[in-house]
Structure 1
Amino acid sequence: MLRQRHYFRRERWRVAALEFERRAAGLVGVAGGPHFQHALVRPRHDPRLGQVFVFIRITAQDLRDAVASTGFLVSVEENRSPRVTKQIAGRVEKVGHSISWDLSDHGHRHLGGPVAKCGKGSQDRLPRFATVGGGEDLDRIPRLVAGITGTAAALFYRVDRHGPPLPEGPLIVAANHPNSLVDALLIFRCSERITRPLGRAPLFDRFLLGPVLRALGGIPVYRREDDPEATHRNDRMFRSAVGALHGGGAIQIYPEGRSHSETHLVEFRTGTARIALQAEDGADWGLGLSIVPVGITYSAKELARTEVAVRFGKAFGCADLKDRYREDPVAAVRRLTERIERGIRRQTLNFDRHRDRILVEVAEQLYVRESRWVPWRVRERLGTRFPRLQRFARGLEWIRGAHPEEHRRLIERVERYAALSDELHAGEGGVPPRYRFLPVARYVLVRGTLLALGLPFAIAGSLLWVPVARLPGFVVRRVKPQFEVTATIKLATLLGGTFAAWILWPALGYVAGGLSVAVVAAVLAPVCGFVAMRWVELAREVREDTALFLRLQGRPDLREQFAELRSELTETLRQLEKRWMEERQVSPRKESDGRGT
């Protein structure tokens, strides 16, 4: 297959030009070893040699960037063995894709121009070292890293996923950004596909975090607030993101541009829309790109084992903006950004003030239990409550604008009910109007049995893992990080401590009793830790329910006070809901009458 080879030097990088048989024309592949890789960048026509393929010696990370930038997936072969050890190969399905790969920081020259077509059924025409695979056949390292970190996030929080699965093909996952790096880990956990994250460039230089981001195929974003002199390097970011989409991959972006603790979405930046439109334009508007809005909502993001809802919206595209983009790119970018913001807003809770969210949650819990939609003392998942919370939030905004005096009275009543509930430490389950014998007996029997059966494992797990569980709090108290990254610091510390302990216990078991004891320790230690975590959560619920039950015994005055407040609030909420629905029905009629005249 190999007819002729030429070497020439360009600075300190070796470039080789190789000519293959004409039946291999259009191949884009790579071969290399553990320390360097030869990337087959593009075919070109040489007057003397004919069809020529250009190889460049680059590092493995530069190779990933090159593959993302060109949109091609390639196969990798060990340098000293013909066996293909990694397969991330792919086919180029059309002519005219332009490679715009810039590795000037590494001493490479820019290589551009069209590539030849590699049509269907071309696998038997490839050279020996390259094989063809699907566009989603990523190597195992990103999947392993995403699996580990996503599982850690799912153990740190109680994750509740809602929404359809991610579509196939080129994909942008656009999400809100309330919790720094934890947001990306939750998307890893809740996604069926590996999505390459876009992150702040300084994160890629940090100890441990940088290698993890690079292993996940992360793409650095150079923000002005991080380094004003490095923003010109965002050209590479756009090329890498567009190239990943051209290769059929998926990326995750946070259009707000920063992590924050606001109770509402902040101003969206246009980078997501620019990437999407550039990707479609580069593929002549036939890419079939999908954009999926994602909303991440935390109940208390700084605390472990609290609720988080991850909601995936319906996918939409941007090919309908083709004409607008060609006429006015800025207007098309603005239009798509607004579309993305609407999609994310539908999947998130948005309030003007933090107090509004507390009041909405209290009112929603009271209303659904008084209406007998949810039993008393049952703690629903945040994702299940989310549609009702959204509706209550919209109703609160309506009454604040349309009837401010009634809004003030409603807030006073809800605050009085919330204060009384806090005084009794009622928690999320509310204060039931009465306790019946059979439900109480069933509650005691079921939960008492579970606590008794899990007690031995809980004791063993506590002895093994209490130091690890207390380590994040100790680190946060010493480091005193910003509130935005508190959960990230806790999660990273917990993950490191868990790995260290998981290594320690089998090692001690091996020293004490040999290989069999080490294996038993490696299996039982995480099992006991998980059982202990769930046992402690169940014990806290039982303690809270039991304490409330005992406080209400012999206090008919408290029961009457709660009953009166519940009745007033429930009736007020029902009346307001009725008026709100009537006004919403009248508004469209007025608009239609106005258009008719």
Structure 2
Amino acid sequence: MPEKQGEGKTYITLQYLSRLALWVYFRKIKIICRKPVPAEGPLLIAANHSNMVLDPIVLIATFPHSRPCHFWALARFFRIPLVGKILKAAGVLPVDTKTHSNAKLFESTIQSLDRGAVVALFPEGTSYTAPNHLPFKDGISWASFEYLTQLASREDGPKSISIIPVGITYSTKNRWRSEAVVEYGEPIIQTIHDLEAFHDDPKAVVKSLTDRIAKGVERSTINSPDWDTTNAAREARFVLFGDSRGVRLEEYVHVSQSFVGLLHPEQKNGLYVKERIELKEELLLFSQKLKSLRLNACDISMYENQEITQTKATLRLVSTWIGLLIQIPFFLPGIIINLPFYILGRLIDSYEPYTESVAQDKLIFSFFLALPFYSTLICLLWKLTGYGLFSLVCVCMLLPIFAWYHMALIDKNYDMLKQVIASWRIFIAVTTGNIGVDRDWTHSREALEDCVRLRRWCRDHTKLLIYNLAKAGDPQAKYLVDYGKPLFKSLEEQEE
């Protein structure tokens, strides 16, 4: 059986590279399917697009049943000799936006769907960094109705098309070794019977379908009205559950969105309005103070119920250093060998102005650096072992094993390094007393103690507000109470 265009060896190679990229970049990825995704048959996929090239890489690597995904690209790119061949081999579909004919515009899309392919689109049209998704464009809706129109003209074959909304959520999209959640939502099924309404009022029906798709993606992503609400909700989640690893990834989106809902500025006519506003202001103040100290809420959590003393700060610094020093002999060779990649990542963090491009740049530049770097390393090791055939085989086998060993240790040691840095900053703040490192006292002991007090206040008032709202019937608060039941046990006992 001949292979389908764009679903052969080139795409399989692309899948392997995508999975390798995600394995290196992310600490963990959670894939959720709300409904079983068909293993065959035509599908349209609508995903949010907040992280440039990483978003299609995520779909290529995680799509159920390893089905190939065909993406759109402007037709003019296919006219570039080498680029056009690569795009075709990778299954990318040309879209001529200059034509006024839908049949011509979606010609390659219809042909792919006729072959039972998966066509994956990003209806926002561009990547972005914003607290909520951009307005969805109507291209995917027009494509679905164009396909249904062609199905209706045929006597045999399928009479419907499924559109699956996909939410891609990153815990910190520009940070290496972060987490990601990919949720394949409930399909929106369009049949040829929907064409009657479409023919009566095409624009209105298309807009309605686009809205349904957008809402489907919203259910699988975190959306906030503004950055203040986003930042306040993140700090509220931090003080209750810790960082992203303190929340089960399958619940990460729901938990985060529930905090956004509780602190949403449109809760003016709801319950506990004054308490919500006050809590939000204090959470934002807490976030600013943490930034000035270059710490996060987890770094100071151990001091929440105890006094900050120089002895405790010193002991924490010494213990974290000892823990790191014990691990360094096992980890240092990997750090030394891969040092150019770590330096490259730091440079990209410093000089890339667009948050949504950082992860893309790290992956692309690392890939092009890896080819000459590891080729040179193999040649050097082969030379040292005498240029024998057996030694070459051993070197080629040793490097992947060493890479796996390095990645197996990296998360634990990366966390330990961050703890050492945090304990050093706390130690400096405590030992400088009220004089402070900076003239504005932002790194002083007073600033640290004020931050700890503020964290304690935010934790207690966040718990109390959620508990009271849950008793009043607020669904988001009830979900958070059920999810974090042990945290609210003391409040339940007090009430009893």
TM-score range, shorter chain: 0.7 to 0.9
Q: Name the structure 2 match of 1:354.
A: 227
**Structure 1 residue 522 displacement after superposition:** 2.3
By how many angstroms is 1:560 displaced?
A: 6.2
- Give the structure 1 partner of residue 38 of structure 2: 167
Alignment of 1:48-447 (within 5 A): 87-88=2-3, 138-164=7-33, 166-168=37-39, 169-191=41-63, 192-201=66-75, 212-223=86-97, 230-231=98-99, 236-284=104-152, 286-319=158-191, 321-368=194-241, 379-380=246-247, 383-397=250-264, 400-402=267-269, 405-419=274-288, 421-422=290-291, 423=293, 425-428=295-298, 431-432=301-302, 433=304
CA distance in 1, matches of 2:43, 2:58: 17
Q: 1:523 aligns with which of 386, 393, 397?
A: 397
Partner Cα distance (1:471, 1:206) in 2: 30
Give, in angstroms, the shift of residue 564 of structure 1: 4.2
Say if 1:187 and 1:379 are closer, same or farther in 2 by CA, change over 3 A. Answer: same
Listed one character per residue, the Cα deviations across residues 380-417 of structure 1 (whole Å, up to 9, x for unaligned) are: 46554221111121222266432664443121221244
The residue type paired with residue 581 of structure 1 is D
Q: Which has the higher contact order (CA 8 A, sep 6+)?
A: 2
Q: Helix, strand or coil for the counterpart of 2:73?
A: strand
Q: Give the whole-Å Cα distance in 2 for the aligned partners of 1:524 and 1:546.
A: 31
1:155-175 Cα distance to aligned partner (Å, 9 max, x none): 223452332253231111110
Distance in 2, matches of 1:468 and 1:255, equals 34
Deviations 1:209-247 (A, max 9, x none): 765433221013345xxxxxx455975440111111111
5 Å matches for 1:14-53? none
Partner residue, 2:359: 487
Q: Please say if residues 197 and 216 of structure 1, whose CA atoms lie closer than 8 Å, have aligned partners that are also in contact.
A: no
Q: Which has the higher helix share?
A: 2
Distance 1:202 1:377, change over 3 A: closer
Count of residues paired in the alignment:
432
CA distance in 2, matches of 1:310, 1:583: 22
Where in structure 1 are there 5+ consecutive unaligned residues? 1-74, 76-86, 90-135, 224-229, 370-375, 436-443, 586-597
Percent identical pairs in the alignment equals 22
Contact 1:325–1:332 (CA<8 Å) still a contact in 2?
yes
Give the counterpart letter for 1:568 in structure 2.
Answer: H
**TM-score scaled by length of structure 1:** 0.63
1:461 aligns with 2:334: yes
Letter in structure 2 aligned against 1:389: S
Once the two structures are superposed, what CA deviation does each residue of 1:196-215 show, in whole Å capped at 9, x if it has no partner? 11134566578987654332
User: Which structure would you say has the larger Rg?
Assistant: 1
Say if 1:426 and 1:277 are closer, same or farther in 2 by CA, change over 3 A: same
3-state SS in 2 of match to 1:173: strand
Aligned CA distance change for structure 1 residues 566 and 406 (closer, same or farther; 3 Å):
closer
Report the secondary structure of 2:338's partner residue: helix
In structure 2, distance between residues paired with 1:543 and 1:145: 34
Distance 2:62 2:177 in 1: 17
In 1, the alpha carbon distance for the partners of 2:82 and 2:344 equals 18
Give the direction of change, closer, same or farther, for the CA distance of 1:222–1:493 in structure 2 (3 Å limit): farther
Asked if structure 1 preserves the Cα contact closer than 8 Å seen for 2:239 and 2:459, the reply is: yes
The alpha-carbon distance between structure 1 residues 362 and 424, as it changes in their structure 2 partners (threshold 3 A), is same
In the TM superposition, what is the alpha-carbon distance from 1:499 to its structure 2 partner?
Answer: 2.7
Q: What residue in structure 1 maps to residue 460 of structure 2?
A: 567
Is 1:542 equivalent to 2:416 in the alignment?
yes
CA distance 1:221–1:490, shift in 2 (3 Å): farther
Distance 2:353 2:294 in 1: 33
Distance (Å, rounded) in 2 between the aligned partners of 1:221 and 1:517: 50
**CA shift in 2, pair 1:367/1:219, >3 Å:** same
| 1:335 positional shift | 2.2
Distance 1:465 1:424, change over 3 A: closer
Any idea what SS the aligned residue of 1:148 has? helix
